[in-house]
Chains A and B, each alone.
Chain A
Amino acid sequence: MSNERTILVCAKETPDTYSDLSFSGGDVQFSNPRPVLNAYDASALEEALVLSEAHGFRVHVVMIGPERAAETLRKALAMGADEATLLTGAPEGADSAVIATILSSFVQQFGPDAVIMGRQSQDTDVGLAGTMLAEHLGWPWTTNAIGIRVEENMFWVKRQGDSAQESISSPMPCLITCSNNLNDPRIPTLKGIMASKKKPMHIMGIDQLPGGESLISTPPSTVVDSLTPMPARSKGQVVEGDLETLVDALVKGLAAIPETGVDA
């Protein structure tokens, strides 16, 4: 490996959650059958590419998925990443803890100067993998970035808090998870797509990583039991009559709502 500083972007492919969805047999199906690059990870990649253009980082993207996911990962190369690794053979039903353990093994072997990734995945909205990965690595981490800059070997992250924006500095190496409000990820150009064919894409089994045997046999600590559609909003009630009737109905209606909220 050269002395070039590297940003590692951890990405995931997800179903196209913007397409129509339907439920059948306890599973969810999307009308677009092709998976997409998780939008939050696309923002992370976009920011890594901007930092690379300004500071000369090498951008490497890693993804855990089946071999088919190479096409989604190639999109990252087409957007401008220099190199990519697809880690195949993840255990069935891998949850955030399992994913973070696998990524941790890869990151320790790889040794990047920073890890940048989406703050969550657009299908499950769990948002744990980044934090768990940083904990495994013992690195400083910042979540929900809406701006990132690099100054004198420090990453400066503008973070969206509940009511204020925080400016946080982290020494390298560090881990940053990104909001999708960070930027508008670039669309791959035709030239980028053609050039991506010539860029290195490594496909390796998770069992080839340090501690690989235990990585592929670690059972997930949580299991998704079932998927059900979001409950439909209950039908509203139309009240007609004079003012007194309307006010009475409103007061009775409000009194009937449990203190914990309408849907509790």
Chain B
Amino acid sequence: MKRRRVAITGLGLVSPYGGDLADFFGRLCAGQSAVGHLQTDDAPRPLSMPFVSCTAFDPDIALGKPLAGMMDRFAQLGMAAAFDAWNDAGLPRQVGQGMRNDWGVAWGTALGGTLTYEKGYRELWQKYRERLSPLTVVLGMNNGASAHMSIQFGLGGVSMTHTVACASSAIAIGEAFRRVRSGEATVMLTGGSDVPQTYGVARAWEALRVMAPGDAESSPSACRPFSRNRNGLVLGEGGAALVLEDWAHAVARGARIHGEIIGYGTTCDHSHLVRPEAAGQIRAIELTLADAGLAASDIDYVNAHGTATPEGDPVEISALKAVFGNNANRLAVSSTKSMHGHMLGASAAIEAIITVLALRDRAIPPTAHLDALDPECSGVDHVTALRSAQPLRAALSNSFAFGGSNAVLAFRTLSQ
């Protein structure tokens, strides 16, 4: 089958800094953390944890009241990011009937509408109400975001949602990429969104003992991937979207192309629910390189999964060392989660955007707060401060999920 090139023509997100995409990337490059401190008034014990919130996001303003009212917050964040990406791609919101029957959406979310369901439980068990709003089902369903996107943009092709924990949107982007490359779809909207501040969800993550502690003062530097004194991940809410487009279609309509997505590989460790294994990650990276037709030596930057858990970070570095061999110590690696946190199903999408911007703007954002490298994480070229004017050719974005699912995406610059 003839393979089509796949252009990235739209990028959009709800920035935790409150500004636009350029502002978001500028702040990451400057090493500025978006991590704040979440303090709720929940009973019996309020949440108090480092967290990334999109506090400036007003769904009624971003989406309009009627649309916002039909969505859980995860779908609101996703829809706002999708509008942003669609505008960035220069595509009209709606066209004539049937014009986009081979256009689709592949979305990622780990939690879907759990916030809506939790609200329902509160109504039933705390307020002793006997019934729930009839909108609960359509707000809560995991494919709420993708369904709304298909409606808003008149997408008549596939509309699907991937739930693969922390790799949800990496797999969504990869599956979208394959559909455009094969010619099944002309345009695919993709990305992910999640809202982990649901009381029950946040408490469950705490119970797993993988969350970094922190108060109002220490939260901004609570997430310290690869650092000797790292002590866990920081959750956050977010939404990020990309428009993937048949290259010839993008060129014909004079679209601005940010970059090219050229490879995707996904594997499963098939060994343990939460303990990552290098072997599965190595296979995913090698599959991606082969899919992209690249050698390891063609890669100039890796946006790491790097969540800052004691267990996860060294495994990822050992996988990179195994794949990149003698070149590993010259391989630029950073984990931007140090600044934007772990947005679960939105993480891989936001990191894909960062990787595309790094290639486009020849600038590698750093791993923040990496003053003391853990010797167990050594052996690659850790980027600890912005590197600008870099001659970057191609880059990878890693996502390694609970459940053992690994997904890696490969991108390259336009000049290739």
Are A and B subunits of one complex?
A: no
